[in-house]
């Protein structure tokens, strides 16, 4: 019995050492992203707006307003989203879990709000097409983009710029790989290649402002929990210590 117990304890300690010697590798995902505009928030039945999704270049467009009408500029307003890997021949992304990566390029053309003063938001649905380590598509819906039209009363196009704000950065959608549940979190807009993120930015009057939309694939906490190598090691060491103490105790009694 003692020999049997000793064998089990040494096997457990050996297993923990092997696990500790093998680095836990973060999962690397590869794929592409496309986007679709949806659910325009309009408070006026006369508002003019349109949506064009899935064009040949993978760009999703949302337009509102009427250009060329006094006192408007010569063009309407426009949001565009071009997902990474969505264009024909474009490279996919490769990213580790929990690491920020570029979902796509976002442009805000600040034009005329004529015939669209009631438009104050729209949703972006993000479709992630994974090619590795699994080959499947997932849809993460209803990331809200709200629009703030500022008064144009300073004569400075930058100060009078209108603002787009990301209203929510996560959804209830998720997927499972290797027993672990993942979701897509939106980190925000970045105009410095992902060094800093914000939930809003401004587009000057009569101009177009651009930013990258960044996100990360995160664990949700669901799925099977795997014991940490250090925990296994401590358990094995503790049991071996207990076994050694018992052996010493019985020797001293005898």
Residue that has been written with the tokens 């809003």 in this structure:
200
Q: Quick one: how far is CA 120 from the chain centroid?
A: 24
Q: What is the mean pLDDT of residues 130-156?
A: 91
CA pair distance 128, 166, nearest whole angstrom? 19
Q: Do residues 205 and 161 touch, judged by C-beta distance below 8 A?
A: yes
What are the backbone angles phi and psi of residue 45, rounded to the nearest 5°? -65, -15
**Torsion of the alpha carbons at 143, 62, 194 and 188, rounded to the nearest 10:** -30
Q: What pLDDT shows up at residue 16?
A: 46
Give pLDDT tens digits for 23-81: 457 899 999 999 999 999 999 999 999 999 977 678 999 999 998 765 558 899 999 99
Does this model's pTM top 0.85? no
Give the max Cα distance, the chain.
105
Give pLDDT tens digits for 199-250: 999 999 999 999 999 999 999 874 444 444 444 444 445 544 544 544 544 4
């Amino acid at each position: 019995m003692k020999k049997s117990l000793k064998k089990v304890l040494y096997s457990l300690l050996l297993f923990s050492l092997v696990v500790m010697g093998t680095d836990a590798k973060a999962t690397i995902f590869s794929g592409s992203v496309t986007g679709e505009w949806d659910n325009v928030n309009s408070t006026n039945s006369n508002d003019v707006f349109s949506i064009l999704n899935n064009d040949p270049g993978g760009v999703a467009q949302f337009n509102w307003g009427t250009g060329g009408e006094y006192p408007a500029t010569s063009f309407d307003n426009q949001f565009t989203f071009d997902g990474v890997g969505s264009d024909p021949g474009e490279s996919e992304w490769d990213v580790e879990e929990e690491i920020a990566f570029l979902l796509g390029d976002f442009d805000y053309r600040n034009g005329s709000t004529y015939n669209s003063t009631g438009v104050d938001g729209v949703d972006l649905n993000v479709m992630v097409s994974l090619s590795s380590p699994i080959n499947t598509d997932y849809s993460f819906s209803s990331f809200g983009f709200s629009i703030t039209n500022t008064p144009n009363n300073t004569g400075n196009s930058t100060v009078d710029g209108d603002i787009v704000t990301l209203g929510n950065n996560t959804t209830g959608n998720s997927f499972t790989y290797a027993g672990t549940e993942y979701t897509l979190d939106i980190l925000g807009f970045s105009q410095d290649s992902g060094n800093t993120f914000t939930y809003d930015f401004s587009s000057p009057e009569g101009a177009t402002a651009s930013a990258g939309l960044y996100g990360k694939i995160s664990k949700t906490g669901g799925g099977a929990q795997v014991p940490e190598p250090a925990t296994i090691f401590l358990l094995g060491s503790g049991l071996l210590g207990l076994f050694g103490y018992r052996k010493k105790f019985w020797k001293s009694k005898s």
